[in-house]
Structure 1
Amino acid sequence: MAGSSELYSPFLSDALVILGAAGIVIPVFSRFRITPVIGFILVGLLVGPFGLGRHVFDYPWLSYITITDPGGLDVFAEFGIILLLFSIGLELSFDRLWQMRRLVFGLGSLELIVTGGAMTFILAAIGQRFDGALALGLALALSSTALVLKITNTSTPVGRAALAMLLFEDIALVPIIFLLGALAPNAAGGVGDLLNTLLLGAGVILGLLVVGRFGLPRLFAQAARTKSPELFLAASLLVVIVASLATAAVGLSPIVGALIAGLLIAETEYHSEVEQITEPFKGLALGVFLITIGMSIDLRVVAQNIVPIVTATVGIIALKAAVTGMLLRLMGARRGTATETGILMSSPSETTLIVLTAATGAELIQPGTAQFWQIVTAIGLTVTPLLALAGRSMGRRVDGVEAPTAAEEAATGRAVVVGFGRVGRLVADMLEHHGKPYVAVDSDADLVSEGRRQGYSVAFGDAARGNALVALGADKASAVILTMDEPVSAQRLVRKLHAQFPDMPIIARARDASHAAELYRAGATLAVPEALESSLQLSEAVLVNLGVPMGPVIASIHEKRDELRDLIMEEGGLAERPRLRSASLKERMG
């Protein structure tokens, strides 16, 4: 019995609760097409110290299904935010960030200054001391990076505007905390410390840029050559942790280092694989962060102060939505974009809690005041997904347009070529010759590096694992073309793609007629047997050489190809399945 009690620990108990919550929340909420964000927050509310944890002493068995050490989760929650900023960097590039500079330093700075100033004025007017009002105004002006970027798509106008403001807020976090320290009654050397930190931070960032630019491609190339997903994952986590620790060591936020690490990897051909392989860790760590938000809500305190809490929450959301929307309109955004972005950015942030803690430590606000605004912040974070839905609906209503259909979105996508050997390269050449956008993916690091040097759009990734193809945009692709010479892998991948995207054209390379029949059964739209195609090409060459005009030859070759395809499908038991002729395939590909 002693041995079993030694094996049990609060840490293991908390880990089981978190993993159990993830196993329940994610599939259940996904089944009803509701973001898991709300589910994790509700789980935190239920199993935290103000939920079932309140009754552990009366019912000891509750310790097995509650969080016994809430403070122990903080490091995992912070790691989730770090991985989120890392993934944001992977979606960006230095070119794209430079193109966004007007939004980041123009819109972002205006949004923070105007919103923070308006809140400071209102709080000072209702009796809060000015330095405390300034601390609260800046804290509440911040918006949630963790939730907003989880909800929105950064390739849309709304996503780009939100990303720009959030990036500036993350950059401004360190100066804000130093400012609060300088305003403290017992402050000493605030401005000097800030300048020193900024100089050291600039040096560290420059060092990361130089080392990353020349070292990361070599590091990931070596990891890719091993064909070991574990080593690739280890290299990815090593990069983000080292970069975060480097910026944290000089007083900057670790999320700055994570963002830079993502930007550097985004410049390499391995960014899609890194994004895909770190996705589960980011999701779980973000789940922990959301659980900690739920645990901070004390429903008894909320019930006792329901009117002021609801008033404060609604007031902050309304003020931030109005200010952000107005600034976007002044900068030329459409009314619908301004409306949706304003509502999306209207709730407080996880970094609001950090600033509130710093303001309390600097004695600018009282602990009771901080607790009140922490509850308001937690409630605001909880309703953020609902605000996103409301903003999307109101934005469309303001513009008077409907959302694009899935077919319309897919029509604008690019083709995804799986495999970049001899056949994949030829397919890419033909797509490029006819002006069709594409991206190729291969798990051979040397093939990928050579292709990128020659100007091809090719990324490193293992298409058979996880959601690597989704990360490359397969969910919105015009078609997926499988060119690898691995029959079993091709069948499995066709089956997986057809299950995920039943309307997606899937064109697959087959070895022979029997393999083509298997691919059709797996869900391929079109299977091209190499043996039959070589026979048709040989027949075409013979007929042209014998003097038959090219037009009739090509027509007869197409007829024979369709006839052979019908025979293959009949032999595979798919006689009733609608055929996709060469002409209709051409139409779907544009």
Structure 2
Amino acid sequence: MTTALLQVVVFLAAAAIAAPIGRFLRIGAVLGYLAAGVVIGPYVLGRYYALEDADQVLHFGEFGVVLLLFVIGLELRPIRLWSMRSAIFGLGAAQLVITAFILAAIGVALGLPTWQALFIGLALSLSSTAFALQVMEERGELTTRHGRLAFSVLLFQDLAAIPLIALVPLFALGGEEPKMDLGSAGLAILTIAGVILVGRFLLSRLYRLVAATGVREAMTASALLTVVGVALIMEAVGLSAALGSFIAGALLADSEYRHQIEADIAPFEGLLLAVFFIAVGMSIDLSVLVAQPWALLAIVAGLLLVKTTVLYGLGRWWGLANASARRLGIILSQGGEFAFVLFSVGMFEGVIGRDTASLLTLAVTLSMAATPLLLLIDDVVARALKPAPPDYEIPPEGEQHVIIAGFGRFGQIVARVLRARHIPFTALDTSIAQVDFVKRFGAKIYYGDAGRIDILRAAGARKAQAFVLAIDNVDASIRVAEVVRENFPDLPIYARARDRIHVHRLLDLGVTIIERETFLSALELTRQLLRGLGLKPDEVTRLIATFRRHDEKRLYDDYKIYTDQEKMRANALSAAVELEELFTKDIQDLGDGDSPASGERRDDRGSVG
């Protein structure tokens, strides 16, 4: 009991320490887990706390991969999966076939038997689903185009791993008959169909009954039971537990309990994935590293080079930009966790020897460790290759036009209306990436700082009819307003404000036509909310109009004292009481038959919304 608890303490300590250190060193949590596994493994500290079998830990940690695929299934609705079929079965299949063929050809050139080389090529062509998804999530790249394509490739690889594992005996030197005969294949197909049918019609009803009890622990237990149960059924017929968990998750993707299930599973998934990567690190045979260092480095370098090159080429063929295609190649360049399974089964079936299996397993592990480092190098290269933005673009000098400073969400809406009405405008933005992106859609936008007098003159500020200040950053907005007010005092400024303090600072500069960016949308949402709560239309209209008048009055009252926080706090308290009294009076007036107040706002000139 004491030894078991000691092992649990060691693993928890490794998981708790490795991830923060990995993030701090910017090498990623996964690489931190791998390093921690090496440290606590049998070749370093394992002998001091009676570590019995690192392989058992690895098998236990593989359940984290099963949970990961279940969560992925939850996120992937069947309709979305169908929409991704081209990338999954097109790009994914192309990557697997081309990579396996190239790696097998290299193996044959080095003297390996053809079937053995093909087996190794197929195993090494698989990437690590858990590793790649974790890295992309850490870096916020899952939602990018190359991130979505990477996910499609990984999904195809997970699907392909199942028949590969089943057909390992075909690669055996003795040419024995495969264990997966027609009867077994039929049983596997029927099992998958049965899981889909049961999950489709029973799982949601089961979770509805559990949810009705209101016992959260029962919901968590049901989610884990679903994953473990499907995994056991799949393994019983010789299929992958990971595939079964993915199917189960996908079947629940349309369930109203999807988010609750995901929240319940997430802690177990994260912890078991950490155990998996720590176990991978523990399984590294350091004696192989000492005995065959050059062969090991050659395999790792060749694997990374071949997979990165193939995926880069396929990414370009699929329409990715140069940087995105390079990123796709690096993210999926490592070997995968299914390679560990294939090498283990291949060794058992006599396809490869124990020494070869150990060497390849270590190579896959080191390829995982190399991926975050390659991504860091790619970040440095991307920054070095990125051309310096121009000083500014000189827009054509307009006449009787509108200048829009800031072309984000706010400025683009203004521009779309002006364009539809054929009112000329010149848009300026300080983000070269935003300028390049918007130009693709045919918008007239120029790179430049609207706070520079030379750029404003080049944009024809002297002949402009109006200046729209739509810059998101408050300090930058104030700086631009100062320049425009000082150099073009007759140019009307229509300003966007983030909050009340922003309004007050603009008022200090004499800008009076100001719209708070969320004010009107919040009022409209509140209007719909009150109607949904059952209030009568007249009462809703009057409440919204009263609040708007009161808030604008308070905004101007606050302006007189906005530099004094104590007075502002006192004013806020008294204003809340005053608003409550106004609402009470409005309700009484409605009861007396008064007509509702109009929601129309006064003349925009000199108003604040």
Asked if Structure 1 and Structure 2 have the same fold, meaning a TM-score greater than 0.5 normalized by the shorter chain, the answer is yes
Counterpart for residue 152 of structure 2: 164
Query: In structure 1, how many angstroms separate the alpha carbons of the residues matched to 2:545 and 2:12?
Result: 65
Candidates 264, 269, 294, aligned match of 2:281 = 294
Secondary structure, aligned partner of 1:146: helix
Residue 345 of structure 1, CA deviation: 0.7
Secondary structure, aligned partner of 1:266: coil
Contact map agreement 1:25 1:39 (CA 8 A) in 2: yes
Identity of aligned residues (%): 33
Secondary structure, aligned partner of 1:128: coil
Residue 391 of structure 1, CA deviation: 4.6
Residue 544 of structure 1, CA deviation: 9.4
Query: In structure 2, how many angstroms separate the alpha carbons of the residues matched to 1:382 and 1:255?
Result: 23
Contact map agreement 2:231 2:242 (CA 8 A) in 1: yes
Residue 393 of structure 1, CA deviation: 5.7
Candidates 69, 75, 92, aligned match of 1:91 = 75
Counterpart for residue 371 of structure 2: 384
Counterpart for residue 46 of structure 1: 39
Counterpart for residue 208 of structure 1: 195
Residue 274 of structure 1, CA deviation: 1.5
1:73–1:368: structure 2 CA closer, same or farther, 3 Å change rule?
A: same
- 1:278 paired with 2:265, answer yes
- 1:254 paired with 2:210, answer no
Candidates 164, 168, 176, aligned match of 1:176 = 164
Query: In structure 2, how many angstroms separate the alpha carbons of the residues matched to 1:544 and 1:298?
Result: 74
Is the deviation greater in 343-352 or in 390-399? 390-399
Query: In structure 2, how many angstroms separate the alpha carbons of the residues matched to 1:305 and 1:167?
Result: 34
- 1:13 paired with 2:14, answer no
- 1:107 paired with 2:91, answer yes
Q: How does 1:238-249 map to 2 (within 5 A)?
A: 238-249=225-236
Secondary structure, aligned partner of 1:155: coil
Counterpart for residue 114 of structure 2: 130
Residue 195 of structure 1, CA deviation: 3.9
Query: In structure 1, how many angstroms separate the alpha carbons of the residues matched to 2:251 and 2:548?
Result: 51
Query: In structure 1, how many angstroms separate the alpha carbons of the residues matched to 2:360 and 2:269?
Result: 27
Residue 223 of structure 1, CA deviation: 2.6
Q: Over residues 329-364 of structure 1, what are the superposed CA-to-partner deviations in whole Å (9 max), with x where a residue is unaligned?
A: 223333222111011111111111111122222222
Q: Over residues 115-138 of structure 1, what are the superposed CA-to-partner deviations in whole Å (9 max), with x where a residue is unaligned?
A: 000000011001111111111111
Q: How does 1:219-368 map to 2 (within 5 A)?
A: 219-368=206-355
Contact map agreement 2:100 2:121 (CA 8 A) in 1: yes
Secondary structure, aligned partner of 1:346: coil
Contact map agreement 2:30 2:135 (CA 8 A) in 1: no
**Which structure 1 residue ranges, 5 or more long, are not aligned?**
1-6, 57-61, 403-407, 413-477, 479-503, 506-524, 584-590
1:563–1:163: structure 2 CA closer, same or farther, 3 Å change rule?
A: same
Residue 149 of structure 1, CA deviation: 1.1
Contact map agreement 2:21 2:32 (CA 8 A) in 1: no
Contact map agreement 1:109 1:168 (CA 8 A) in 2: yes
Q: How many residues align?
A: 436
Query: In structure 2, how many angstroms separate the alpha carbons of the residues matched to 1:265 and 1:564?
Result: 54
TM-score after normalising by structure 2: 0.64
Candidates 101, 105, 109, aligned match of 1:121 = 105
Contact map agreement 1:151 1:388 (CA 8 A) in 2: no
Query: In structure 1, how many angstroms separate the alpha carbons of the residues matched to 2:88 and 2:384?
Result: 27
1:341–1:551: structure 2 CA closer, same or farther, 3 Å change rule?
A: closer
- 1:25 paired with 2:18, answer yes
Instruction: Say what the alpha-carbon RMSD is for the aligned residues.
Output: 4.0
Candidates 117, 127, 143, aligned match of 1:155 = 143
Q: Which amino acid aligns with 1:370?
A: A
Contact map agreement 1:41 1:294 (CA 8 A) in 2: yes
Counterpart for residue 53 of structure 2: 69
Contact map agreement 1:88 1:262 (CA 8 A) in 2: yes
Residue 177 of structure 1, CA deviation: 2.5
Contact map agreement 1:336 1:398 (CA 8 A) in 2: no
Secondary structure, aligned partner of 1:67: coil
Secondary structure, aligned partner of 2:239: coil
1:401–1:183: structure 2 CA closer, same or farther, 3 Å change rule?
A: farther
1:553–1:178: structure 2 CA closer, same or farther, 3 Å change rule?
A: closer
Query: In structure 1, how many angstroms separate the alpha carbons of the residues matched to 2:360 and 2:289?
Result: 11
Query: In structure 1, how many angstroms separate the alpha carbons of the residues matched to 2:108 and 2:229?
Result: 42
Query: In structure 2, how many angstroms separate the alpha carbons of the residues matched to 1:351 and 1:145?
Result: 9
Q: Over residues 3-25 of structure 1, what are the superposed CA-to-partner deviations in whole Å (9 max), with x where a residue is unaligned?
A: xxxx423x322211111112222
1:542–1:36: structure 2 CA closer, same or farther, 3 Å change rule?
A: closer
Contact map agreement 1:348 1:377 (CA 8 A) in 2: yes
Q: Which amino acid aligns with 2:344?
A: T
Counterpart for residue 127 of structure 2: 143
Contact map agreement 1:339 1:395 (CA 8 A) in 2: no
Contact map agreement 1:123 1:133 (CA 8 A) in 2: yes
Query: In structure 1, how many angstroms separate the alpha carbons of the residues matched to 2:384 and 2:261?
Result: 38
Secondary structure, aligned partner of 2:252: helix
Q: How does 1:574-585 map to 2 (within 5 A)?
A: none
TM-score after normalising by structure 1: 0.66
Query: In structure 1, how many angstroms separate the alpha carbons of the residues matched to 2:126 and 2:27?
Result: 25
1:22–1:552: structure 2 CA closer, same or farther, 3 Å change rule?
A: closer
**Which structure 2 residue ranges, 5 or more long, are not aligned?**
390-405, 411-471, 473-497, 500-518, 576-600, 602-609
Candidates 22, 28, 33, aligned match of 1:35 = 28
Residue 215 of structure 1, CA deviation: 1.7
Query: In structure 2, how many angstroms separate the alpha carbons of the residues matched to 1:211 and 1:400?
Result: 56
Contact map agreement 1:135 1:356 (CA 8 A) in 2: no
Q: Over residues 41-100 of structure 1, what are the superposed CA-to-partner deviations in whole Å (9 max), with x where a residue is unaligned?
A: 1111011112223xx3xxxxx21xx63332331332111110111111111110111011
Query: In structure 1, how many angstroms separate the alpha carbons of the residues matched to 2:555 and 2:93?
Result: 61
Query: In structure 2, how many angstroms separate the alpha carbons of the residues matched to 1:107 and 1:543?
Result: 55
Residue 394 of structure 1, CA deviation: 5.3
Q: Which amino acid aligns with 1:20?
A: A
Query: In structure 2, how many angstroms separate the alpha carbons of the residues matched to 1:27 and 1:84?
Result: 21
- 1:557 paired with 2:533, answer no
Q: Over residues 298-326 of structure 1, what are the superposed CA-to-partner deviations in whole Å (9 max), with x where a residue is unaligned?
A: 33431332222112211110111001111
Contact map agreement 1:100 1:164 (CA 8 A) in 2: yes
Contact map agreement 1:111 1:327 (CA 8 A) in 2: yes
Q: Which amino acid aligns with 2:249?
A: G
